[in-house]
Structures are given as C-alpha cells and as structure tokens.
A and B are shown apart, each in its own frame.
Chain A
Amino acid sequence: MDIAVNILLTIATAATPLLIAAIGELVVERSGVLNLGVEGMMIMGAVGGFGAGYLTGSPWIGLLAAIIAGALFSLLFAVMTLSLATNQVATGLSLTLLGLGLSGMIGTSFVGQPGVRLPNLDIPGISSIPVVGRLIFGQDPVFYISIALTAAVMWFLFKTRTGLTLRSIGDSHTSAHALGIKVIRYRYLSVIFGGACAGLAGGHLSLVYTPQWVENMSAGRGWIALALVVFASWRPWRVLAGAYIFGAVWIGQLHAQAFGIPVPSQFLSSLPYLATVVVLVLISRNKRLTMMNTPASLGQPFVPDR
C-alpha cells in the first residue's frame, strides 16, 4: 500500500510541470498563437526560481521569481510575433534556443549548489491519515496550484464571456477584429499567461522535483507539454488526463531502471519521447476531431488594417 501511494505521489510530481505548462500553452493556442518557446520559458523559470530561492533562502520567493522570469521571457515572443508580426514557428524556436543558452549562462555559478525545496503541505492530524491524507493533503503546493489552474482555465474558457471572446479570436482574428475586439491585446495577455505558467512549471522542476540547478534540466518537457495540447485537442480536462499519463510513463521508466529490468537504460529513457510520437500519431489519425478543435487561425500572424 505504501509503495502504491509513493508511486502515485511521484507520478503527480512528474505530471505537475507538464500540466501547468500545457494548460498555459492551451490558453495561448486558443487565442490563435503558437508559441514553440515553452521549453525556453520553462528553463528560464527553472533557473530564475532556483537562483532567487538560493540567494534569498526562500522557496516561495523562488517560485514567484520563476513565474516572473517565464512571463518576462514570453513578453519577448509577444513583442516579436504580435507587434512585429514575425513568423511564430521561427520566433518560438529562437525563444527556446535563447532560453537554453541564457539559462546556461546565468546558471553557471549555481551548478552543484544546494537548493531550497518547497515544503509539502502538512496539516496536523489530517495529512498523516494513511493513503488519503498523503495523497490529498500532503503534496507540494504547486500540485494544488496546478489542479486549481486547470479548473480555473476550464471555467474561464467555456463559462465566461471573456473566454468566449478569446476563443473567437483564435478561430477568426479577422472577424473578431471587425467586431471591435482588441485582438492584439487579448493575445498579449494570453502569451504572458502562458509564459507565467511555463515559468511556474520550471520553478516546480528546480524547487520541488529536483531542488538543484542542472543545465537543460527541463529535458524536453516543454516540447512534451506542446504535444499534450495537441493530444488533448485543446480541451483542459484532456490536458489533465494526458499530463498524468505522461507522468506515469516518465515515472514508470525510472522505476523500471531502478528495478534493473534487463533493457538498456537508454531505451527506457527514450520512452517518454517515443510515447509522445505515438500519441501524436494516434490523435492525428482522427482528422475530423483535430480539424474540429484546432483554433482556425492558429499560427497565422495578424496585422490589423485600419
């Protein structure tokens, strides 16, 4: 029983950064912008979070710094693609490349330093209840944020007027513009929200998952988050399910390595990436589902004519 609980807990820890980054990107893509820089924003969040936590000794300040780092970094993308109408694919890629380089440079002095870890929730008496206590009341704070965030985004996108407006922009920015909606402003806010989420996800990596700074520690999670959004066909609850499936794959291969299964560890390590490919293939085979849900103006630059 204890082992099962432990495995579930580690799966939740592995799934949380994927979930947060993917939920952020989902909002961005729903507004019609394709930001391929998730990996870069995530790693900036990770280094910013670790740095602030390490220098101040407070993991909470670290977490805040991670969010700010991700948001600021995404602003760069927003200015380029929204104000200067650059190619979104190329700009997103450059955001990732710049983020990986910049974080490596900033983090040089952090390598090997002991980090601070965000403490798990501990409610006296309740968190120590077997099984349920630890699963529901004893996890790290970011876990709860991730669940709340998913619920909030679900409500915002599908139950509020602003959410409807946002989705309409993603489906046809020309029509939305004709209706007098401030397309660019909505998209700026969406991109910054996505950046903040990616930063938070990075902060989770360097303040909870492995409280230290390792270069390239995001290890492709930003890309997997992007794939999750496609996999989820732009639905928040499917992102939640997908993130946990991927968390399970990630943890499963780690456990398999620890148990000494006679398969080379490199093959097991490549499982999450291969699983991403397989899942993408499975989902894209269903063309109708994909066509129906893909925001119609995704990735197209918009220049308001007046």
Chain B
Amino acid sequence: MRIELVKRPQRSALFSMLSPFIAFALTIIAGAIMFALLGVNPLNAFEIYFVEPISQVWQLHELAIKAAPLILIAVGLSVCYKANIWNIGAEGQFIFGAIFGSIIPVLFPQFEGPLVIPLMLLLGMVGGAFYASIPALLKTRFSTNEILTSLMLVYVAQLFLDWLVRGPWRDPQGHGFPQTIQFGDSAVLPELMPDAGRANWGFVFALVAAVLVWLMMSRMLKGFEVRVLGSSPRAGRFAGFGFNRMVFFTFLLSGALAGLAGISEVSGAIGQLQPVISPGYGFTAIIVAFLGRLNPLGIVAAGLVLALTYLGGEAVQSALGISDKVARVFQGMLLFFVLGCDTLIHYRIRLIGIALTKPNGAAQLEAAPKLEEAR
C-alpha cells in the first residue's frame, strides 16, 4: 500500500476550516483505543476526562487559569512560526518572565500600592523578551540555529530558577522548603470574580493579546511582512523587509508574551516562586499554536481545549488511577493529527496498491492539474 499526494490547484478552504475538527475526532478515537488498552471503559473515561472537569462554574475558572498562559504563549509563537522562525524555548522565557517579575515582591516586599502589579507585569515581559533575545542575537549575528539554542536555554532557565529558590531567594522562614516568600497582597494578580472562582486577570491579558496580535497580523503592514518573509524570504528581501529585524521582532514579541504568562502565573495562580512553576506550558503552547492554525483567534479556542486536557488528566488520575501523563499523550496525539490533517488543505490523498481510493478518486484523477506549479 502506498500513499500518494495530489496537489490541489489551490488550498482548500473547506479543509482549512475542518482540519482541526477532524484532528480532534481522530484524537478521540485514538484516545478511546488507549483507554480500552488501559482497561478502562472509554465512554466512562471520556466523561471524566472531558465533561466532568467543566461541569461547574468554579471549574470553568480553573480552565481559564490553565488556558491563560497557553493562549498568551501560543499567540506569540504563532507570529514566529508564520515567519518561519522557530522559537521553541518559550518555556525558558516563561520562567525568566516569572523571575524578573518576582524581583519586586521578593526583594522589595515593603514596596506596596497599585503600582506594584503593573511594574511586575512590565518586568515580566522584559525578562521574557531578554531571554528570547539571546537566540535571536545568536541567529542574526552568527546564523546559529535558533531551534537548538532556544531549547538548550530552557534547561538553563530551569536550573537557574532552581538555584534561586534554593539559594539566595529562599524564604528564611520557610522551614527549608525551596520557595520564596509569599507575595504580598498588592503583588497578587486580582481575581476576576472572587465569589465564583479563582480565575484572574491573566485570562483577560490572554484575550487582549490574541485580539491585538490578530489585528496586527490581518490589518497591519507588520503582519503582512511576517507572512511574506515566512512564505518567501526572497520576495520579502525584494520588498525591502529585513530578515534580521524580523528575527528580533518575532523573538522579542513571543518572549515578552511568554514572560507575561510567566509572571501572571506566578503572581496569580501560585503566589510565590517554586522550583517548578510550569507543567510544560511553553511546550504545550506549541501544540496550541498549531491546533489554532497559527491564527490568534483560533488559538483562543485551541488554548481552552488544551487546558481541558490538563484538567482531564488530573481528573482521570484521581478518579481512575491512571497516570496524569495521559494528558501529555493526548496533547501529543492531537498535534500529530493536526499536522496530518493539514496536508488535506494542500493535497488530495490517494491510497494506491489496494482497491481503495477516496470517493470520487477516479474523477479527481482526471481533474488533477498537469500544471507544474507543484513546487
């Protein structure tokens, strides 16, 4: 059996819209098989995984808490990936945003007032952007591969945070626990509706960022520049768009947003620095970006879906005794299927060697363009 791809004359608008849904459906099927293999009734597991975690109002707030960092980071990454620039170190930029933003509440806890939160958020964005500027600088100055450097810096950031909270920033009254002091009241990101649940302003930041970046990408010259340089660097050069400037722009933007996510998470959901402050948000956000088709508004929806996989993972762990790594597996499968389904946008798929072609296979064969526009 062989798979053969037939180039479509133009990208299919239908599959462009459908592919995330097909991918989600395929993930559900694969997930059902996985649960069955683990010896759990799939229907039962799905109810616990996808329905129960969002059946009450306070749980929706938890969903928003998990979705906020994913959306913030993914919105920034989508700009990078559109420009064909591969920042995969958002996890490290998230951590550095959290560290920079925590300078005020940890080192100057006596500083209080309404200015504290805006300053922390600003510092967080600076921290994330600073950390992202390292791979950007190396790429533009020495043309060093940004995939590997940004990823390596994640490990360095994790170790640096570990050193901070066990060493100089450790709470002296913390009974030796590796954590900083609890942030003061004016350093805690306020909750949106304290009576209903824990969701904080981080979620609002995420929505605002998504709308702003969407406006930039669809209505502004900068967005056009990103898309041109991403799909055809040569054309971009002729248009006078600087590639190096673009590298810096995308890295600083995605770094700042990841940093904002980091400080929002620490200031809002956690309330202090710990050795581990993220369940891999920076990596999961890569999946969110692709599931959202690199469109900021799609990313909002995708962020909510991926946030649900985290909550569902916790739910099946406590209800069925299955490892919460199930969440990671779901996320990985989802990305696989999304990427696979995206092929349908540009190609028709034909199976050869067995008597099985897609419906209308024969008709398509004749309609297949002989144009040499394949490459």
Contact = CB atoms under 8 A, between A and B. Distances in A.
Interface of A: 36, 76, 79-80, 83-87, 89-91, 93-94, 97-102, 104-105, 108, 174, 219-220, 223, 226-227, 230, 264, 266-267, 269-270, 273-274, 276-277, 280-281, 284-285, 287, 290, 303, 305
23 contacts: A80-B336, A84-B5, A86-B343, A89-B147, A90-B81, A90-B290, A98-B328, A99-B332, A101-B331, A102-B325, A102-B328, A174-B375, A223-B148, A227-B148, A227-B152, A230-B148, A264-B163, A270-B160, A273-B153, A277-B152, A303-B347, A305-B372, A305-B375
Interface residues of B, number: 53
A270 B155 contact: yes
Given A85-B5, A85-B347, A280-B138, 5 more contacts: A97-B287, A105-B323, A219-B155, A264-B167, A273-B156
B145 A284 contact: yes
Contacts of B238: none
Contacts of B147: 36, 89
Contacts of B145: 230, 280, 284
A36 to B, nearest CB: 7
A80 B143 contact: no
A98 B143 contact: no
Interface in B328-342: 328-333, 335-336, 339-340, 342
A273 B152 contact: yes
B156 A89 contact: no
B71 interface: no
Interface string B1-29: 01101010000000000000000000000
A125 to B, nearest CB: 44
A167 to B, nearest CB: 21
B332 A97 contact: yes
A226 B152 CA distance: 11
A101 B332 contact: yes
B325 A84 contact: no
B100 interface: no
A266 B162 contact: yes
A26 to B, nearest CB: 15
Contact of B339 (A94, A102, A227, A230): A94
Contacts of A83: 2-3, 5
A284 B3 CA distance: 38
B87 to A, nearest CB: 11
A52 B109 CA distance: 53
B138 A277 contact: yes
Given A94-B332, A94-B336, A104 B323 contact: yes
A287 B287 CA distance: 33
A98 B5 contact: no
Contacts of B372: 305
Contacts of A285: 142
Contact of A280 (B3, B149, B167): B149
A7 to B, nearest CB: 24
A97 B91 CA distance: 13
A86 B340 contact: yes
Closest 10 CB pairs of A and B: A101-B328, A98-B332, A104-B325, A266-B163, A94-B335, A105-B325, A83-B3, A266-B159, A108-B323, A284-B144
Given A86-B340, A226-B148, A227-B148, A274 B142 contact: no
Which of A80, A94, A104 has most chain B Cβ within 10 Å?
A94
Which of B138, B151, B167, B372 has most chain A Cβ within 10 Å?
B151
Given A94-B335, A98-B329, A84 B290 contact: no
A76 B328 contact: no
Interface of B: 2-3, 5, 7, 81, 86, 88, 138, 142-145, 147-149, 151-153, 155-156, 159-160, 162-163, 166-167, 283-284, 286-287, 290, 322-323, 325-333, 335-336, 339-340, 342-343, 347, 349, 372, 374-375
B2 to A, nearest CB: 8
Given A220-B155, A266-B160, A80 B339 contact: yes
A72 to B, nearest CB: 14
Contacts of B343: 84-86
A280 B163 CA distance: 26
A269 B161 CA distance: 13
Contacts of B333: 98
B153 A90 contact: no
A266 to B, nearest CB: 4
A285 B326 CA distance: 42
Contacts of A98: 328-329, 332-333, 335-336
B143 A284 contact: yes
B143 A104 contact: no
B160 A281 contact: no
Contacts of A276: 148, 152
Contacts of A174: 375
Nearest to A86: B339
B335 A97 contact: yes
Contacts of A270: 155-156, 159-160
B299 to A, nearest CB: 15
A177 to B, nearest CB: 11
Contacts of A91: 336, 339
Which of B86, B336, B374 has most chain A Cβ within 10 Å?
B336
A92 B151 CA distance: 13
Contacts of B332: 94, 97-102
A85 B155 CA distance: 31
Given A83-B3, A223-B151, A230-B145, A105 B329 contact: yes
B156 A274 contact: yes
Contact of B159 (A86, A102, A267, A305): A267
B339 A303 contact: no
A287 B143 contact: yes
Given A105-B323, A230-B148, A270-B159, A89 B335 contact: no
